[in-house]
Structure 1
């Protein structure tokens, strides 16, 4: 068994914060796509909760937390209302939203990996589900909005890589019997920092060598 790294109330508060900022990103994309209020709410909910629901279904933690804790469901609706009425103002603080989104990414890759391991998965599988927890909602968001998922696009700043790094640190800490609050926060902070560096310097994954595709590059 792993140690209790956070009190339940602290963990819930951190997860709700991550859910809120992910929901903001989903709602903003819905506004850009000219969705109605229902579409905005659906995209906000899917972005915020999709990764966690996927993880919980895979590990058998059913019903998923998103369906047993009303706060998990209501938080994206709060983000929906905020964006619906104040989206021009929210767009202006988009850089700040990116910072919080990076923080949510760091948190979810840690909690996702830890929860998967507690449910009996191996280290590699746990780290993989930690990645899925962090980025799954964004993939669902893009698919619903008829976009190529940012996770698969070379012209987007690194997103999966920071989550992979954070999840791998957690897995290594478990392997070395060194998982505690400090190492968990180190993993989350590392993922957070790498994501911010990717945003700041537009770091991107390499494409195939000797690529001859003439497909138009999207901005």
Structure 2
């Protein structure tokens, strides 16, 4: 068991609230939830950092304000996830730490060259991660599932990006070809990263596999999940006026 998960199991055993869902009596389940909240928490912290960088590239003051506002919402979500980790007896920093390297590697491989690539990355890349975590959330207790879905809820970012990108492509159709290639690259990198994270975290693999009293996913179901992720990506690219 990972250090953060061990700390969570210990803390939960010694002082868990009576209202805590019964599922948390299973150390393996607790470890999986800690891993998942840690991954989402670091992902949203990273999203805040990238949105701040995007704001610096924004072509207008209105765009800077819009993106900065979205960034501020990410910080609020990180705070809520860290508070939940603390309630589970986990150290939030330790829970988030294992996801720092893989997420930073993904961002290093997909560094946008300009404002437009930054917008598409935020829309497409973050949405792929959101879809992946929502799929996993289906296997969780109600309270954890609702927290994850709420913190991953779109707060107007999609509408903002679609408006800006489609308007820009209408003015310069050549931009569409470049952004379509960029979107396909993001898809490949994001799926590779999602598969890597799922495979390297034993607790998450166990969660997806199910248990005696919990449903799970066999290989065919996992394949269908990634097919759904691909279909949603294609729809988002279409929303942007881009080929997937």
TM range (shorter): 0.3 to 0.5
**For the pair shown, which has the larger CA radius of gyration, 1 or 2?**
2
The structure with the greater share of residues assigned to helix is 2
TM-score of the two chains, using structure 2 as the length reference = 0.38
